[in-house]
Amino acid sequence: MDTIIQTYRLSKKFKNAEVIKSLNFSLKKGEICALIGKNGAGKSTLFKLLAGQVLPTSGEIQLFGKSGKNLDAARKKIGFMIEAPAFFPDFTARQNLEYFQIQRGVINKRRIDEVLEIVGLAKERKKRFKEYSMGMKQRLGIALCLLSSPDCLVLDEPINGLDAEGIMEIRQLLLKLNQEKQITIFISSHILAELALLANRFVFIKNGIIVDDLTKEQLNEKSKKQILMSVDDVAKSSQLLERTYADIQYKVLPNQVIAIQNHVEHAGDINRLFVDHGVLVKEFRIEAHSLEEYFLGAVEERTND
């Protein structure tokens, strides 16, 4: 599989603050990779390093196998949307893209019509930018990214501020670009539930360090259903579980809660086991972790150890 982006021990300091710390990361052709982290985790800084908007303090970036002086040429194969593009409010979509086409030296005259069609703005080409909805503005931003026919898109919060319909439109557009045009996508968003519908890989970043890197299948496995039981005797409950189920996977949580990760299909039997042996079950429920819960739980736990 071809490597689009590769970083080796990449770091970035601003004054005394190290925002990116010795980061090793690779993005393969065809992936939709979600970069997930809280504000200040280093997401936008990593994107700006890849775009050449800021220079690394140390380490190396390779794009399409190119590095050093060849990076600028390689960046032309990537469409970056890191901050909202400065479109002219009184220009139409076509006029705005014509300006950037000249600025960026894109020779193909038909490309503007092609990208407006791809992002669903072909019928809105005469409407002025200031009359656009937020969703239309974001789609025009993606059209600008596509102007130079890139192999990869790097998108920082492309669905920020959109309503539910706008979010769905952007998701469908990005899936179409990935599946039909084979465009690799590296994306960040605060809307983790939406990333779960879009991405096939999830990279969690905290304080400039990658703390987890999961495929969609691995995330589904880690965030699958579990049994939560509030009991009056955690020690006795643990012994009963271990004696009855040799492969039991469970955690003891605060407030005398036991979280059982496997044997969910035996939830009724486990409840009966406790009751039959005199354990008072105060609360019993089955739930699935969301992407948010996985991030706030497992990742936070891991990085605070």
Query: Average pLDDT in the 100-119 region?
Result: 89
Residues of the chain with CATH 3.40.50.300: 3-215
Sign of the Cα pseudo-torsion (288, 291, 296, 298, in order): positive
| pLDDT tens digits, 7-25 | 999 999 998 899 999 999 9
Query: Average pLDDT in the 49-77 region?
Result: 94
The two three-digit tokens of residue 68, written as one number: 């050093």
Query: Average pLDDT in the 59-71 region?
Result: 94
Least confident of 67-71, 89-93, 123-127, 229-233: 123-127
Q: How far is CA 140 from CA 36, 84, 91, in A?
A: 24, 10, 12
**238-248: buried (b, 16+ CB within 10 Å) or exposed (e) per residue?**
eebbeeebeeb
Asked if pLDDT for residue 250 goes beyond 80, the answer is yes
Q: How far is CA 47 from CA 64, 76, 80, 153, 282, in A?
A: 16, 15, 8, 11, 48
Residues of the chain with CATH 3.30.70.100: 224-288
Bridge partner residues of 185 (DSSP): 32, 153
pLDDT of 226? 84
**Rounded CA separation 181/52 (Å):** 25
- Percent of the chain at pLDDT > 70 equals 94
**Rounded CA separation 24/60 (Å):** 9
pLDDT of 303? 44
Total count of residues recorded for the chain: 305
Query: Average pLDDT in the 240-261 region?
Result: 91
Fold (topology level) of 224-288 = Alpha-Beta Plaits (3.30.70)
Compute the mean pLDDT over every residue in the chain, rounded to the nearest whole number. 89
pLDDT of 296? 64
Q: Considering the domain 3-215, what is its CATH architecture? A: 3-Layer(aba) Sandwich (3.40)
pLDDT of 300? 55
